[in-house]
Chains A and B, each alone.
Chain A
Amino acid sequence: MPPPPRRHLTLPLALAALAAGQPVGAEVSFADRAAALPVQHSYEGDWNHYVGGGVAVFDCNGDDLPELFAAGGAAPAHLLLNTSKPGGELTFAEGQLPPLDGTTGAYPMDIDGDDLLDLVVLRDGTNALLRGTGDCKFTPPPAEWHFDGGQEWTTAFTATFEPGESWPTLVFGNYVDRTNPDGPFEACDRNFLHRPDGRAFAPRVALEPGFCALSMLISDWQRNGTPDLRISNDRQYYVRAGREQMWHLRPLAEYTEAEGWPTLRLWGMGIASRDITGDGLPEVVLTSMGDQPLQINQGGGVMKNAPYSMGSYATTPYSGDDGRPSTGWHAQFGDVNNDGWDDLFIAKGNVEQMPSNAIHDPNNLLIRQPDGSFAEKGGVTGIGTTERSRGAGLADLNRDGKLDLVVVNRRAPLELWQNTTADAGHWIALDLRTPGANSRAIGAIVELRLPDGRVLTQENTVGGGHVSGQAVPLHFGLGAAQTAELRVIWPDATASDWTPVTADRLYRLSPGQGAALTLTERP
């Protein structure tokens, strides 16, 4: 990758931020709540668990307080039941899981359209679907689902509901083919696509070539109504003849250079996707070693590296006395101070013992500034720990409207951070539901219009990060605004009317009559 030009940020939103007079500068703070965890959890194991270590964030018992499923690698996975009181301190109790070893990560979603979240558990070995029964209990998937969990070393996942289908399409990304005697380098396994056959899975289809995927995301990144499959791949193992991939889903074909998809090689570990420029097109952060590139979506299928001056590259540790390059894993956008500008969390940590990279590598919390750049606050908030972090989740765990943080570490305890920002702005949380198979409205796009006219856009996806999925309400920071308007472009491409909403509430949203929205405020 050529180095991005060093020039000053000239994004139009920089001026917009100043003009809008948003209450930026709210000093973000987090409190360490790891002591409230009922078990000591860490991601463990030999080389096959140097990568992985995901956490799924999802409400499995309908109380609007998200639970956590943390992958354990060679150690047990844990289900952590959220026992927090709304607005109170984070507390968790241990839940029950069927025996699962070799877990690398997990993504929650409703597979069978019963409006109860199920869990897709990735493993070094046979992947598992856990069917949620609504009380944080899980049963094996019925045989008639015809799910083939494979035997591969799975390290990435994404899903969608394709038009006209009443069953999801799943994509599993695999790392090194450990059965290849010429491995482990240049021995990347194939990825697999599971399409519906009625209300069951058809035989899985190989996506070739595979380049050691560590993150995947199906996203309508061009906003043309046709989601594509992005795969971020780890050059440490594909070595030479690999690349970052984008696939058309129908017909199934990899984007080519001829159609404008440039060859980019990264030590890709995680994908974060969010429109941060205000044009409705999602930007992406692709975690890697050294630079953590932020690509600005130019429209028309063109992504362009953000300038270094944007402060998002997080190339080396921002604290401590280890100046070697960082290793990035989970990345996620979220507005942690509710100022109306999305911030960025990046989990960092040495693979294991790579002398090329920082051993004490602090996690990043990059807070969006009035000029559009990012400022590092990982250190001052305390979340900038230096363990080998892998998966993570930014989500409101106690319904106080502020995004909390859970971080899975390899060979170190799970971290839990409660957002205690004192003067955060207003917020709104939106739990999207649609009737039918796609109960959680995967593929919907929410546009939220602030009183100053600025529109915040979020896409409801399953995938991305580093083996860490979330099925939680979409969270928007509103800054000083106490009201906003929103509309939803539903997965069937119909757009709702703009509908007024009041801040500081969790709403359940579903399609109403015609273009109306049905909004139900959650108690």
Chain B
Amino acid sequence: MLEVRDLVVGYGEAAALRGVSLDVTAGETVSLIGANGAGKSTLVKALMGMQPVTSGQVLLDGEDITRRAAADRPQLGMAIVPEGRRLFKEMTVHDNLRLGLHHRAARERADAGVDLAFEMFPVLKARSRQLCGTMSGGEQQMVALGRALVSRPRLLILDEPSLGLAPMVVDQVFEVIEAVTAQDVTVLLAEQNMHRALSLSDQGYVLADGRIVLTGTGAELLRSDRVRSAYLGER
């Protein structure tokens, strides 16, 4: 479904991505793991059109979308849960969710509208008028997930969804991701929490210093010692 071919972002020694290639098959859950600064977020932003690409290609169902505007992503069936959630903090929960349906293509796909998010996270319903900036990190992550999911994306990209959250909330977030993967949504998960990410992934890529250094099924990578050394810097 998604193919990344030799993607480079930035120049020379300062390049954030130095020729990354990966494949995401439709229906699969693929995780992208690596230490802080390995290039995960840059890759995610490049896929979403939020980061200019120096060279290489991003193909979605064979179509070159490398230089398509960020604003086209909903039309392509892509949605993102950005790093740090990046909610519209001065706006209500309801308005945040509704913006997930701003694009006409998203509204056409969405069968339940914003109610989909309320079904998944009943706690949000009672707070639909609350400003997002006044909510806890876990609640904000629910809104961010809801905002991405109400548009019924074919490809959901999550950037560090567990970052900065309490362990109990992390459990909840991964439960939701698992529920999403059980539907026919393709998921690309960029995550530092490699055990959690790999255990629900069909495929994993390990990113270090702007390059893919290791790839394999989730189970293979979980057993691999090289993952630890490449990613955790453990000696």
Do the two chains bind? no
